[in-house]
Amino acid sequence: MAQQPRAWQRMLSGRRLDLLDPTPVDIEIEDIAHGLAFVARWNGQTQGDFAYSVAEHSLLVETLFSRIAPGAPVKWQLAALLHDAPEYVIGDMISPVKAAVGPGYGALDERLEAAIHIRFGLPAKIPAPIKKQIKKADKISAWMEATQIAGFSAAEADKFFGKPDPNIMTDLTIVLRTPTETRNAFTARHHTLLKALP
């Protein structure tokens, strides 16, 4: 009988995460923060001395979401922070690659997202109106990244990500930090939000 291919990954915490059937008990924020801090957005094709990580992007998306939806419950701020959390084990693929990989990638992402949400007290599926607001923040973040560190003109970014409301971006700039600094900032923000949950 042929042996099934290995579908789990060992985390630095010692947890074994089954990628095909993830459970909330095998998910630790330290593993997520560490993984995301070392995953580069834009396939690493950004200016600066450090890659722009998914962890840094997630912090920006949470800030933007809070501006788009002021007064939103803390749980939705947490959902915004964790919107790309599955990428700590499956990496960040640019949209053309996701399309080429097909629906299998999306299914894997959804299973991981549900387990992560349940682990931190969120519903497995985020309500559509909240998801839409998080997606809007995600696109504004992508626009900022495109124009500030990825070499896009504003016109190009407008075409791909939509023209953002400049008021939402007031006083915000892309931050490039070491993976360790970003990991610590992500973990700290997660702990702050978790503590504020009712």
In this structure, is residue 96 part of a structural domain? yes
Q: Which of 56, 54, 10, 50 is nearest to 36 (CA)?
A: 54
Task: Name every residue whose Cβ is closer than 8 Å to that of residue 115 and which is 6 or more positions away in sequence.
Answer: 22, 23, 24, 26, 27
pLDDT one-digit tens code per residue, 11-25: 999 999 999 899 999
Distance CA 23, CA 147 (A): 38
Range of the domain at 186: 28-196
Query: Lowest-confidence range among 23-27, 72-76, 94-98, 122-126?
Result: 94-98
Count the domains in the chain: 1
Amino acid occupying residue 187: T
**Does residue 19 sit within a domain?**
no
- Please measure the distance between the N-terminal and C-terminal CA atoms of the chain and give it in whole angstroms: 51
The enclosing domain of 128 has a CATH number of 1.10.3210.10
Residue 136: per-residue pLDDT = 98
pLDDT of 123-136, one tens digit each?
999 999 999 999 99
